[in-house]
Amino acid sequence: MARRTKEEALATRHRLIDAAEILFQSQGVSRTSLQQIAEQAGATRGAVYWHFKDKADLFNAMMERVTLPMENAARFTDDPAVDPLAVIEAGMVGALRLVTTDPQVRRVFDVATHKVEYTGEMASVQLRHLEARNSCVGDFEKALRLAARRAHLKLTVPAAVAAQGLHALMSGLIQNWLLDPEAFALVSAGRRTFNVYLSGLGFERSLVRADAAIAPEHSPDRR
């Protein structure tokens, strides 16, 4: 009986998060009340407060269910046999691919970038966003420094600046693609702009199909 109750509670929690995802995307986070979320989930307002202390807590639970693009885009090693730029490229191509193929990731990323205001009770959510961004930018900076050192290259801008720019480039592409998915092929655009950006930093690289081992041949964005 206790196990069934625990499973039912977990099912209710997931229904509430599912409802929040839908409502947050359709009408924005600030315009969505906990009562609306409860009704959408077929639950009571009391059930919402049983699982979450406030809307920010519910929002963070929604974010934690998925790995958003750019959060794990560049985990690399200092193994001399591994090209850190290729690792970054493959990671970012994988992240862009995730946006185009996983509806839940796309929905949550859309909410996190276009449908939330960091005000009032949602102010604490900004910290999670900043932590994820800083971690990714830090990985980019380490990889760029390592690649430049191996190539005996002086970057055209400081590595820290280059890393910030690279993150802005990729996250900006995703955000613009979400506004109009028919406007351009996200993976192809990301791969090409990434290589152009590296050329601007002074690296000599050919356009490598970094997602060749990741993307299925039939993917509509593979062009």
pLDDT digits (tens, 9 = 90+) for 177-214: 999 999 999 999 999 999 999 999 999 876 544 444 33
Q: Tell me which residue range forms the domain holding 28.
A: 2-58
Distances in Å between the alpha carbon of 206 and those of 14, 62, 86, 92, 166?
45, 39, 11, 17, 18
AA identity, residue 136:
C
Nearest to 197 by CA among 116, 152, 140, 120: 140
Do 40 and 95 lie in one domain? The reply is no
Q: Report pLDDT for 222.
A: 41
In a domain, 6, yes or no: yes
Domain holding 48: CATH number? Answer: 1.10.10.60
pLDDT at 8 over 90: no
In a domain, 140, yes or no: yes
Do 103 and 182 lie in one domain? The reply is yes
- Taking the C-alpha atoms of residue 94 and residue 76, their distance in angstroms, rounded to an integer, is 14
Mean pLDDT of 7-29: 93
Q: Report pLDDT for 219.
A: 41
Do 43 and 99 lie in one domain? The reply is no
